[in-house]
């Protein structure tokens, strides 16, 4: 399964990338409606650094999501993969490209549902709407910060 969210931000790629390097970036990117708590923050500049997030599935089940940073190429991209968590697999590439208006922030997610047989049926109902809402919020937060001092 794939998910992509792309936004134009009126700031240079270096500025957009710098937001993600802030020590509290993950806290800022966590929407208030998500029942999630950052247990351990990752340093995206260190490949191998891990983030641990405690999240709830279906509002009931608590799950620890461990993601490891696997690529760091400022100001173009960084990547994390799920080590353990709710998905069978998860790879998230954060790509920042130059654009005539400033930058394009592109989140590319490849994931596999825990029960692959039901993935194509369940993802459009249970995962895609949540990702759309989550990344709409994250892009707005990133955009507001990146464009604030330009």
Q: What is the pLDDT of residues 124-149, one digit of tens each?
A: 777 889 899 999 999 999 999 999 97
State the Cα–Cα distance between residues 84 and 27, nearest whole angstrom: 20
Question: What whole-number distance in Å separates Cα of residue 148 and Cα of residue 118?
Answer: 43
- Mean pLDDT value across the chain: 92
Does the pLDDT of residue 108 top 70, yes or no?
A: yes
Spacing of C-alpha 82 from chain mean position: 11
d(CA 4, CA 131): 9
Q: How many CB atoms lie within 10 A of CB 80?
A: 21
Q: Would you give the end-to-end CA distance of the chain in angstroms?
A: 37
Continuous segment of H or E residues that includes residue 86: none
pTM over 0.85? The answer is yes
User: Higher-confidence residue: 69 or 60?
Assistant: 69
Check: CB of residue 73 under 8 Å from CB of residue 79: no
């Amino acid at each position: 399964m794939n998910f992509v969210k792309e936004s134009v931000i009126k700031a240079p790629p270096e500025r957009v990338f710098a937001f993600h390097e802030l020590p509290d970036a993950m806290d800022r990117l966590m929407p208030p409606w998500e029942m999630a708590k950052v247990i351990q923050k990752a340093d995206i500049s260190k490949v191998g650094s891990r983030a641990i997030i405690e999240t709830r599935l279906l509002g009931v089940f608590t799950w620890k999501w461990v993601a490891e940073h696997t690529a760091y190429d400022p100001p173009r991209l960084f990547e994390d993969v799920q080590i353990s968590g709710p998905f069978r697999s998860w790879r998230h590439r954060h790509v920042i490209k130059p654009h005539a208006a400033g930058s394009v922030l592109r989140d590319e997610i490849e994931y596999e549902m825990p029960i692959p047989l039901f993935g194509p049926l369940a993802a459009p109902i249970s995962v895609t709407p949540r990702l759309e809402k989550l990344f709409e919020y994250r892009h707005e937060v990133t955009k507001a910060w990146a464009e604030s001092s330009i």
